[in-house]
Amino acid sequence: MNHQDELPLAKVSEVDEAKRQWLQGMRHPVDTVTEPEPAEILAEFIRQHSAAGQLVARTVFLSPPYSVAEEELSVLLESIKQNGDYADIACMTGSQDDYYYSTQAMSENYAAMSLQVVEQDICRAIAHAVRFECQTYPRPYKVAMLMQAPYYFQEAQIEAAIAAMDVAPEYADIRQVESSTAVLYLFSERFMTYGKAYGLWLMRMVRGRAVSESLKFQGDVMDRVDSCSHCIRG
C-alpha cells in the first residue's frame, strides 16, 4: 500500500467512533414509550370536548368511527368512575342518552343547559335557566338571553315554547314580567313572588339608567374640559 492508499487517522477515528455509538445503541435499546390506557384516552377525549363547550353522548363511543363494544365501554366508564385520576369526569342523564363532561372546563349548570340544547327540549331548557337564575342570584331571567350561547334559539322557537309552557302543569311556576319597553322577563314562583320579581326588575332598570346617565355626565364633563383646554391654548 502506498501513501495515497492510506486513510487519514482523523477519518479512521471518526468511523470507529460512529461504529461504537451504533453498537452501544444496539446493546442498550431505547426505552419504549408507554401507550396510554383506553380509559385515559376516553377521559382525555371527554376533557377536550368540554374545553370546546361540548358534551359527549355515550352513543358517540358506540358509533363509527369509534365503534367500542357495549360491554367494553361499560367497563371503561366504570373504571373511570372508580379512578381518582378521572374525578373530574362527570355524567348527566338526559331523556335520550347519558352525557359526559369534565368539571375542569364545564360547570354542572352549563352542562345541564347544553344537554337540553342537544336534546332540543326548549321548554325544559327555558325552565332550567329561569329557575337557576331566580334561585342563584336571585333575579328574573331576560328572555333575550335565550338567543345567545349556549342556546342560540330563534325568536319563533322561544315564543312557541313559552306558549306551550303556559298550559303545561310541570312549568306552572314559570311566570312573565314585561317591562314598559316590551322587554320580556321570566321568573319562577318556586323562588320569588310576582311582586319581588317586578321589584328586582325595576331595580335593575333604575341601576341601568343611573349608570347610563353617569356615563353621559362623565362624557359631558370631558367635553367641557376639552373645550376649556382649547380656549386656554387659544
pLDDT in tens, 67-82: 999 999 999 999 999 9
Task: Give the mean pLDDT of 124-146.
Answer: 95
What pLDDT is attached to residue 31? 57
Output 100-104 pairs: Cβ under 8 A, ≥24 positions apart.
100/46, 100/55, 100/56, 100/57, 100/58, 101/46, 101/49, 101/50, 101/55, 101/56, 102/43, 102/46, 102/47, 102/50, 102/51, 104/47, 104/50
Confidence of residue 161 (pLDDT cuts 50, 70, 90): very high
Query: Which residues, 6 or more positions from 120, have their beta carbon under 8 angstroms from its beta carbon?
Result: none
Grid coordinates given for 175: 311566570
CATH of domain 37-111: 1.10.10.10
- Classified as helix, coil or strand, 185 is strand
Encode pLDDT of 5-44 as tens digits: 444 444 444 445 554 554 454 455 555 667 889 999 999 9
Give the single-character DSSP code of 190.
Answer: T
CATH of domain 120-234: 1.10.10
Intrachain domains 37-111 and 120-234 with the same fold: yes
Cα–chain center distance at 175 = 28
CA–CA gap between residue 184 and residue 50 (Å, rounded): 32
CA–CA gap between residue 166 and residue 160 (Å, rounded): 10
CA–CA gap between residue 41 and residue 61 (Å, rounded): 12
Domain locations in the chain as residue ranges: 37-111, 120-234
Contact indicator for 91, 129 with CB cutoff of 8 Å: no
Q: Which of 211, 210, 213, 204 is nearest to 177 (CA)?
A: 204
